[in-house]
Amino acid sequence: KNEVEQSPQNLTAQEGEFITINCSYSVGISALHWLQQHPGGGIVSLFMLSSGKKKHGRLIATINIQEKHSSLHITASHPRDSAVYICAPTGNQFYFGTGTSLTVIP
Amino acid sequence: EAGVAQSPRYKIIEKRQSVAFWCNPISGHATLYWYQQILGQGPKLLIQFQNNGVVDDSQLPKDRFSAERLKGVDSTLKIQPAKLEDSAVYLCASSVATTGELFFGEGSRLTVL
């Protein structure tokens, strides 16, 4: 049983496209992280949010606690955005999705 | 502010050998995690420390894995003896508190031959 489901698993986009990655979870949480992992690299926390919406540059994250759903949007995508994006809801522990592998083609 | 430091970055060993990984969390972070990430999967929690006490080690294969955080600061994760299926990236992460923002190290990639 997966506590966290992400979609899509893989995504290929043309540079400049608007991208959405979705995350649904079944556990009770106090906050949710969106993480970015580059090939061969470590994991970087992009956002931690517990309600509403947060924006950082071209990245926007939203969460609906009642519906247990979060989305990560990337506007004007760029090849350097190519990475794996992981949703991690957190309550008394961190739960991790399996990630969405994004490739942005120039 | 210095990030989470891990070493070694890469390690190749033969099965049945032992290996140890080291992690130094961000200063002041009471909570430290060790995760195992197998290629294509999300991180799997191995052990969580709060200061030098273990909060959760339910998924740690205790017959071969051990971890300690003696002074509530840096931590070591040991595997002895290693199996082929232990090939993975071992990630250390820390946070101020369980509900705080999570910071990851670069990871230690283990290959068991």
pLDDT, one tens digit per residue, over A75-90 is 999 999 999 999 999 8
Contact A36, A85 (CB under 8 A): yes
Note whether A99 contacts B42, CB cutoff 8 Å: yes
**pLDDT band at residue B107 under the 50/70/90 scheme:** very high
Q: In this complex, do B107 and A44 lie within 8 Å of one another by their Cβ atoms?
A: no
Provide the pLDDT confidence category of residue B21 given band limits of 50, 70 and 90: very high
Residue A38 is predicted with a pLDDT of 86
**Is the pLDDT at B39 greater than 90, yes or no?**
no
Interface contact A86, partner B, CB < 8 A: yes
User: Least CA distance to A42: which residue of chain B?
Assistant: B106
Those residues with Cβ within 8 angstroms of residue B67's Cβ, 6 or more apart along the chain or in another chain: B34, B46, B47, B49, B57, B60, B75, B76, B77, B78
Chain A touched by B57 (CB under 8 Å): no
Which chain A residue shows the shortest CA-CA distance from B45?
A94
Window 58-77 of A, Cβ < 8 Å to B: none
- Positions in chain A short of pLDDT 50: none
Distance of residue B102 Cα from the nearest chain A Cα, in angstroms: 7
The phi and psi torsions of A23 (rounded to 5 degrees) equal -140, 125
pLDDT in tens, B43-98: 899 999 998 899 989 999 999 999 999 888 999 999 999 999 999 999 999 998 77
pLDDT at position B1: 62
Q: How far apart are CA B70 and CA A73, in angstroms?
A: 42
- What is the pLDDT at residue B36? 94
The whole-angstrom separation of Cα B27 and Cα B82 is 31
Task: Decide if B25 touches A, using CB distance below 8 A.
Answer: no
A92 and chain B: CB distance < 8 Å anywhere?
Answer: yes
Nearest to A42 by CA among B87, B35, B13: B35
The stretch B87-112 carries a mean pLDDT of 90
Give me the pLDDT at residue B85, please: 95
Record: contact A42-B101, CB cut-off 8 A: no
Mean pLDDT of chain B: 92
Rg of chain A over all Cα atoms, to the nearest angstrom: 13
pLDDT band at B40 (very low <50, low <70, confident <90, very high): confident
A104, HSE (Cβ side, Cα atoms, 13 Å): 18
